[in-house]
Amino acid sequence: MLDIKNKIWGYVKIIFALLLLAFAINMFLGPHQIAAGGVSGLGILMEYAFGFSRAGVVLALNIVMLILALVFLGKESFLKVLFGSLAFPVAIAIVPEMMLTSDKLLSVLFGSAIFAYGVSILYNNDSSAGGTTIPPLILQKYFNIDKSVGLLMTDAIVVFLNLVVFGIESFLYAILSIIITSIVMSYIETGTNRKKEILIMSEDKLPAIQQCLNNKIDRGLTFLEAKGGYKNESKQVLMIVVDNQEFLTIKRIIESVDPNAFVIVSNVSEVLGRGFTYTHVE
């Protein structure tokens, strides 16, 4: 029963996040012709350029991306983005399109901050609004291109189209919107651009925890040699450093294998090296 309640509450939070995204797009960014990346940005561009429905464009593009996810990434990735991909255009259609303020800079500031908050909620609930989050995963799988670089490439195309459709001012505002969204997301999630260091100790299930993490998390694991302070017995500690949005997944894995495991979680101010060169921002 508790598991069902948690799943329902998770979907409630995802729906709330998608409504926040639609609110930011329809009441702040869209009315001022600012397409700051993603399928929502393409929806704004197509609406003003050809008169297409914004929600219809987002739905059509998300369906295409879902097909690509199923073909190139497999069923697991497809199911992960399915709900958000279909619910996001519905949210855009529900939220009315209106200009809350005529000040373009205020709209960019508030719209980008609200958008960042919505995306952070999606990340924390292991979800996504689909769209341009899928091509970077394909580029990473088949061409070994980092996800953040692939996302930057796809969003850069959308931002550049602002220059073609709306002109230089909207182009610059779109860049500003992406910068604000990145900063706000970083602040919401960690306070700074931090990672989490996790130290795991278990009496007899550390190898099982290691195996599960290797199967489900694409991060390096390190065994540290330690000695207990009470019995002076030698033991091992498993260490892993992850992005903030990966922490909840790892926590669930540890609890499922050994609910009695002793786990220490610390914020790390900076991590350099393979897997942490870029910060993934959607």
For residue range 31-70, what is the model confidence (pLDDT) as tens digits?
999 998 888 899 999 999 999 999 999 999 999 989 988 8
Average per-residue pLDDT for the chain: 84
Q: What percent of the chain has pLDDT over 90?
A: 31
Report whether pLDDT(279) > 50: no
Q: How confident is the model at residue 269 (pLDDT cuts 50, 70, 90)?
A: low
Rg, the chain, Cα only:
21
Specify the higher pLDDT residue, 144 or 20. Answer: 20
- Residue 282 pLDDT: 39
Return the closest-CA partner of residue 119 out of 56, 182, 193, 48: 182
- Residue 278 pLDDT: 46
Q: How confident is the model at residue 272 (pLDDT cuts 50, 70, 90)?
A: low
- Residue 124 pLDDT: 75
Domain boundaries along the sequence of the chain: 2-190, 195-268
- Residue 170 pLDDT: 92
Report whether pLDDT(223) > 50: yes
- Mean pLDDT along residues 1-25: 87
Specify the higher pLDDT residue, 177 or 277. Answer: 177
* Number of C-beta neighbours around residue 227 at 10 A: 9
Q: How many CA atoms lie within 13 A of 52 on its CB side?
A: 16
List all residues 6 or more positions away from 237 whose beta carbon is below 8 Å from its beta carbon: 199, 200, 201, 223, 224, 225, 226
Instruction: Please tell me the distance from the alpha carbon of residue 89 to that of residue 82, in angstroms, as a whole number.
Output: 12
Q: How confident is the model at residue 226 (pLDDT cuts 50, 70, 90)?
A: confident
Fold of 195-268: Alpha-Beta Plaits (3.30.70)
- Mean pLDDT along residues 114-120: 88
Q: How confident is the model at residue 273 (pLDDT cuts 50, 70, 90)?
A: low
Length of the chain: 282
Specify the higher pLDDT residue, 216 or 175. Answer: 175
Q: How confident is the model at residue 139 (pLDDT cuts 50, 70, 90)?
A: confident
Q: Would you state the torsion angle of the CA atoms of residues 96, 127, 84, 26, taken in this order, to the nearest 10 degrees?
A: 20
Q: Are 16 and 121 in contact (CB under 8 A)?
A: yes
- Residue 93 pLDDT: 94
Q: How confident is the model at residue 176 (pLDDT cuts 50, 70, 90)?
A: very high
Specify the higher pLDDT residue, 192 or 269. Answer: 269
Q: Where do we find the tokens 């996800």?
A: 147
- Mean pLDDT along residues 188-205: 77
Q: Are 83 and 14 in contact (CB under 8 A)?
A: yes
Query: Lowest-confidence range among 85-89, 122-126, 221-225, 274-278?
Result: 274-278
Instruction: Please tell me the distance from the alpha carbon of residue 147 to that of residue 106, in angstroms, as a whole number.
Output: 30
Report whether pLDDT(147) > 70: no
Report whether pLDDT(72) > 50: yes
Report whether pLDDT(9) > 80: yes
Q: Are 190 and 246 in contact (CB under 8 A)?
A: no
